[in-house]
Amino acid sequence: MLSPLILGILIFCNFFMAFTNSLAAKPHNYVIVENTFPADKIDDPRVLAFRKNYRKRQFQLAGGLTVLDLILLIPMKDSIFMMLFFVLIYITIGAGYLLQIRYIRKGHQLIVDNNWQLTEQPIQVDTKLVLEKNRKLVSPWWFALSLGVLILLTFILHQQGMESLTWILLSACGITLALFILGWWMISRMPVRALTNDSTINRQYNDLTKFYWSAFMAATSFFVNLIVYLPLLTMNISDRFFEVLMIAEFLLVFIFCGFTLWWLLRLRSKQDQLLAQTPSFRYAGDDYYWRYGFYYNPNDRRLMLPDRIGLNITTNLARVGGKIFIGLIPVVLIASMLIVVVPLYILDYRPDPLTYEVKQENISLDGPFYRKQTINYDAIENVALIDKMPTAGMKVNGLATDNYAIGSFKVDGKAATLFVDHQSKPILKISTKKRDYYYTNTDSTVTKQVYQKVQAHQ
């Protein structure tokens, strides 16, 4: 089941990236694929052909990557499977970037060959615009709703008896909320530029940008809390409502993604409509600083600025903060891969990855990258060997693949801790009043021995 799901995610990523990258072919501030064209040349047949070819190549690339992704349907160990998944994701990102670079150069060559270079104009400072740059910025009190929801959901989770998980989530979501507030603050600090000679258009353009992006930060901080907490709040509800709330979770994710795309495209459209109202667009020679899809301008004191597609905020790599940000991206990508792949590699290739220790008063169960579980014999209500796991189950935290289940789960409506290799049978089930424990050793005879030892201590 895991292979088709992961494959579906990869295919979605391929075509979603093709769609978002192809937006660069639609003029925004007279920019097409990082090149600024004269306003009267936007609909020139040569420019239209360039735009069409760029979009076509993006979706052809997505199709080719999808064919490559089919390799995941070949049976393989979980660690190799997840390693390939990350490699394919990185190939998708890298191939899309290289295609973008190629067409940035093609666009520049098209401008040079037809002598369409724009005259660079000096930066115009609008003092009134600078003083009123945050006139439409949403109030920081918009984040009060996110903070209130975070406190409420934390309290509910604590009441459900998940104290240790409660504090971990509160810390993580609290840091995330702080990052969104930091993003709001950085948007408020973004300097403004006069894009035209019309001060009214410049002010309206700036107001739109500040309002849409600051509101997006506040709204996203709210949605993130719901998306993180909703699955956990389903842990102690009846099974009858479990599927309903899980469907609601997936719908919430899709609604959020759709809303994000709609919101940013709406901003982009309104900005283009404003610039179309005046012929006095001021070209500041920015193409030189966007030659490789990133912004690098030592003479620009801005750290954060809107990207040229109009769907994101990027950084100035000439600033120290920009260098740190771009340097963290490969670190995060590699760390994510290691966090997922290393435990699976241990499970796949270590002779005895799921261990136990029988003591005089308790038994301990342990597995890679999950805390050891100690169960006192006097707390055990029942111990049994079962042939297969119950079908009704949901992961709370830990690892769940076609071959392994390690961590905290909800199984048959009850909290459970699993150290299970699905290829090994039978499965040891230890039941206590509040939680069930499931364990298998790689060697099935060892699992039976553990069962006998626990029985002997009861």
Segment among 122-126, 260-264, 283-287, 313-317 with least mean pLDDT:
122-126
- Directed axis angle between helix 78-113 and helix 320-349, to 10°? 150
pLDDT digits (tens, 9 = 90+) for 352-384: 888 888 888 888 999 887 888 888 888 888 888
CA-CA-CA-CA torsion sign (60, 332, 250, 344): positive
Q: Which of 7-21, 42-56, 346-360 has the highest mean pLDDT?
A: 42-56
Would you list the domain boundaries of the chain?
Answer: 355-457
Q: What CATH class has 355-457?
A: mainly beta
Which residues make Cβ contacts (< 8 Å) with residue 25, sequence separation at least 6? 32, 33, 50, 51, 52, 54, 55
For residues 323 and 355, the answer to whether their CB atoms sit within 8 Å is no
For residues 91 and 68, the answer to whether their CB atoms sit within 8 Å is yes
For residues 34 and 24, the answer to whether their CB atoms sit within 8 Å is yes
Q: How many CB atoms lie within 10 A of CB 69?
A: 23
Q: For residues 246-261, give the mean pLDDT.
A: 80
Which residues make Cβ contacts (< 8 Å) with residue 156, sequence separation at least 6? 233
| Percentage with pLDDT > 90 across the chain | 26
Segment among 93-97, 100-104, 129-133, 238-242 with least mean pLDDT:
238-242
pLDDT digits (tens, 9 = 90+) for 379-429: 888 888 988 888 756 676 778 887 888 888 878 778 888 999 888 889 999
pTM: 0.79
Is the pLDDT at 93 greater than 70? The verdict is yes
Whose CA is closest to 365, among 439, 455, 453? 439
Q: For residues 122-140, give the mean pLDDT.
A: 82
Which element (helix H / strand E) includes 80?
Answer: helix 78-113
Q: What is the widest separation between alpha-carbon atoms in the chain?
A: 89
